[in-house]
Amino acid sequence: MGPGHAPLSGQSGGLPGWDLLLVIAGALILVSSARLHVFIPGLSAVRPGLLLVVAGTALWLSKGDPLRRLGRPIPLGVKLGVFVLAWAVVGVPFALWPGQSGRGVAEAFGVAVLVFLLVVASVRHVADVRRLLGVTAVGTGIFAVMGPIQGRIPIRGFGAGGYDPNDSAMFLVATLPTLVLFAISSKRWSIRLLAGLGALMALLAVVQTQSRGGFLGLAAVLLFIFLFFRGIRTVAKVAAVGLLAVGLAVTADADYWDRMSTITEMDDGYGVEGSVVGGRRGIWTRGMGYMFENPLTGVGLFNFAVAEGRSPEIAEQIRRGFGAKFSAAHSMWVQVGAELGIPGFLAFIGLFGHVGWRMWKISRRRSRWRTDRETSLMASTILATIIGVAVPGSFLSNAYWPMVWLPLALGIALARLDDEESRSRRQATRQPVAVGRNGGQYVSPGRTSGIPVRRW
């Protein structure tokens, strides 16, 4: 809200409380991304994620005009997200294995996009964005504590909630900024203390995963917070990053740093000794080749390994007597390009770029408004989360998972509210509100302020 504007709490009816759709959206964050139901014995058997999606969809559609809850006009981010799913559906008949592609759309990616839409539709006010960020922070803290306990893997690190060690690291790195948000901005010291402790536990858990992609993501997130986090005092920002850096130095042992020193060895662990096609470079090169060989629809959703099985390069390696592994893409960007073709690839990259740019602009503009630095801080947090997804995701095949799509949904919701506020201000300045003595009309200098409450 800009200088001289009335506070949001001064609007008619005040701020909205939790409604049922927002509750369902928060629960979906805990289940589909933080995977907390896995840590509660017996809860997974009732499939809480499916129940929440069905209930949330029914509630959303029952509102009479469900598209209005996404925004009018429909936000570009929503259009890009829906296009990626629609293009995956279009590609099903042309997939190398149509049955695999169809099941992937119905059972995985379609559900992830539906969760994405429900989160966007649940947000009515900027306070709702903070609430959902708070739910994310709670889920991260619990995962950081329970994950290493229940998900220990004898070989290396831990993978919890259905995630392997690299996936676990990506989730923790991406959601760590939400804990930083509440550690430095909450008005209650008890919440600050809990959030700070949760951030340190998340950092320790990232170290325990032994994930190199997670380390790169952590470095990118901490660097972003140090250089570009807006809406808080510099001393608080430096203190937060400094404490996390010290925590990393204290908790990481020699074995961890030895493993991190092998980050540049891109071809280890994915191929067979003597094979020239087994490492990540070879996988990425072949993956982009699949995209250009099938430029419209790709090889089909979840068909990357099928394409590997039909690769002439791998067939030649087998003929020469080397073993071969029909691998995953090991990069969500390569995964989408190979499986959805050039249109899906461009839409997926465009979605990240659009939401990231909007968060950057909102954080910069609102950081100049002393009365609305909280919105700037939330935009910075969401952008840091997107970076925490994009960097580790460059080494993982999880483009269709909810934990990739949820921060995008929060960013789209916040950008939509910002657009609505801008439109309401423009309309207010155009409307004549009084008539002068000579019959001339003039516009009152007062303007409506703050991101408006959306009432349904």
Per-residue model confidence as pLDDT tens digits over 368-382 = 655 568 889 999 999
- Mean pLDDT within 246-264: 90
Return the minimum-mean-pLDDT range out of 89-98, 112-121, 214-223, 318-327. 318-327
Mean pLDDT of 41-49: 91
Higher-scoring residue by pLDDT: 92, 430: 92
Q: What is the CA radius of gyration of the chain?
A: 24
pLDDT tens digits, 396-453: 999 999 999 999 999 999 999 999 888 887 877 765 544 455 544 444 444 334 555 5
3-state secondary structure of 270: coil
Strand partners, 434: 442
pLDDT in tens, 145-163: 998 887 665 556 777 778 9
pTM, entire model: 0.88
Confidence check: pLDDT of 395 > 50: yes
- Continuous segment of H or E residues that includes residue 435: strand 434-435
Assign 278 a pLDDT band (cuts: 50, 70, 90): low
Quick check: 84 and 77 in contact, CB under 8 A?
Answer: no
Residue 10's pLDDT band (cuts 50, 70, 90) = very low
Cα–Cα distance for residue pair 175/230, rounded to 1 Å: 17
Model pLDDT for residues 98-133, shown as the tens digit of each residue: 999 999 999 999 999 999 999 999 999 999 999 999
Q: What contacts 123, CB < 8 A, 6 or more positions away?
A: 22, 25, 129, 132, 410, 413, 414, 416, 417, 454
Contacts of residue 25, Cβ cutoff 8 Å, sequence gap at least 6: 56, 118, 119, 122, 123, 132
Tokens describing residue 376: 């700037």
3-state helix, strand, coil in the chain (%, to 5): 70, 0, 30
pLDDT at 233: 83
Question: Inter-axis angle of helices 110-122 and 402-430, to 10 degrees?
Answer: 30
